[in-house]
Structure 1
């Protein structure tokens, strides 16, 4: 009888494969992409998954989307009998925004990647766990035969892949209600809405999806010259990508922007909107 994960050759094989990768960073990107997909900000104007405007069913669908984001970002195949296969071992991918996971019958006794997302605290963590039937809550489970994972199994029969990792906060959440309404209003036009946003979020890094939400366009910076010109008129300089890195040494990811006031540009450090 196996008494610890160290005695499980399959869990050790999968863990050995994963430990070579920046797992926390990959999961952070995957979760953020899944949330952005569900919010669909460019069409709905939504930017907060906990908003009353988001149906509970939509929040629950983040986990389903996350499965495909994890497969894509880890370059893993979609492969039966579970979600994927790592080092020749079947692995199921599960996520919860609560305290437990719904383990389907086909994943009983199998290896699972179990991710916990705490939306209010903007953080997440993931375990590699053997979901043995004896470690699942007793009973028939729900109508699909899914059963929750016992706390004991998570604590004693799993390998934490990383400690709590921060989830980036959509910078629109830092706006007051009044400014948020202006930024997301139908009028004025795209240039003015973006200008209001950059003005209110001076010094904060603005990711591409935030631009999509405000501009409500798949090409939000199509009129970037107009936005830059309007910003410059009030002392704000907009930077992105290589331009920012060359001019100020500011590190931005592809698609990210930042507005810096000219008289503070030399001394201001950018603020990434990650959770503390």
Structure 2
């Protein structure tokens, strides 16, 4: 869901309302914002995991310091999206107003002293559920828990969270594909051999599911990863004798529809095994088998 504003009678309404309207205006309108904000979280996690170079696939594999850096990454991407400068003290300047940006992958945010009595953008995301939240709060000390951590930072209290103006709340973003399959399968695919063989094993194991170029890059772990799909030395040569075809969303749209497979984006792929004679004929006529 989106846009859960504060009541017009709320003491923070006059402070937060201009900031919320300004943020939405930077990307156009609330519909455009709901399209542009969620991908930030997918990009941030994917870039920090960096599967093609680290052989890691999920957020659980990150070091503690990397999970902390995710907040900085979200901050950088958000500032770039809004085309706004850093503040002199805090993370963002909105027409001269210093605004902090706080992210969490848990249940709460830690607030430093310099953020007190200033507005803050709050971001939150959950990789398992693939949902994110994006809101604004005015940090009043009375909104915070009494206890402090070692850095003298305090978290937002349960009642304090009632003062958040949510622009997006529990909003879906693109799921990390690697969160959808068992770790044992990932390990089996990775241990199957070099790039081309890993891709062939991947498409043999994962059939009937749209696969992005990023997933292929993650598995191949090579700069020329797309070459590993092709015929004449690629994964298709390994899979064709098994009657398994790799179809491309851009080129094979009609065939994909005829086979009753999910609709693909232009840069997605899907594998399909010809079990029936009719399917074998269709794939053969299309030059896939």
TM-score, normalising length from structure 2? 0.76
Residues 84-129 of structure 1: CA deviation (Å, up to 9, x unaligned): 2235533221111121111122221111111222334332212211
For the 8 Å contact 1:245–1:252, the answer to whether it is kept is no
2:198 matches 1:193: yes
Kindly name which structure, 1 or 2, has the bigger radius of gyration based on alpha carbons.
Answer: 2
For the 8 Å contact 1:36–1:209, the answer to whether it is kept is no
Among residues 260, 265, 277, which one is paired with 1:252 in the alignment? 265
Are the structure 2 counterparts of residues 209 and 190 from structure 1 closer, same or farther at C-alpha, using a change threshold of 3 Å? same
User: How far did residue 164 of structure 1 move?
Assistant: 1.0
Alignment partner of 1:221: what SS? Answer: helix
**Corresponding residue number in structure 2 for 1:97:** 105
Are the structure 2 counterparts of residues 118 and 223 from structure 1 closer, same or farther at C-alpha, using a change threshold of 3 Å? closer
**Corresponding residue number in structure 1 for 2:3:** none
CA RMSD of aligned residues (A): 2.9
Give structure 1 stretches of 5+ with no counterpart.
267-276
Are the structure 2 counterparts of residues 165 and 261 from structure 1 closer, same or farther at C-alpha, using a change threshold of 3 Å? farther
Aligned length: 257
Are the structure 2 counterparts of residues 49 and 235 from structure 1 closer, same or farther at C-alpha, using a change threshold of 3 Å? same
**Corresponding residue number in structure 2 for 1:69:** 77
**Corresponding residue number in structure 2 for 1:204:** 209
For the 8 Å contact 1:95–1:114, the answer to whether it is kept is yes
TM-score, normalising length from structure 1? 0.79
Among residues 168, 185, 190, which one is paired with 1:179 in the alignment? 185
**Corresponding residue number in structure 1 for 2:10:** 4
**Separation in 1 of the partners of 2:177 and 2:94?**
36
2:159 matches 1:152: yes
User: How far did residue 180 of structure 1 move?
Assistant: 2.0
1:120-131 correspondence runs (5 A): 120-131=128-139
**Corresponding residue number in structure 2 for 1:228:** 236
Give structure 2 stretches of 5+ with no counterpart.
1-7, 258-262, 283-289
**Separation in 2 of the partners of 1:241 and 1:81?**
47
**Corresponding residue number in structure 1 for 2:124:** 116
For the 8 Å contact 2:38–2:173, the answer to whether it is kept is yes
For the 8 Å contact 2:108–2:156, the answer to whether it is kept is yes
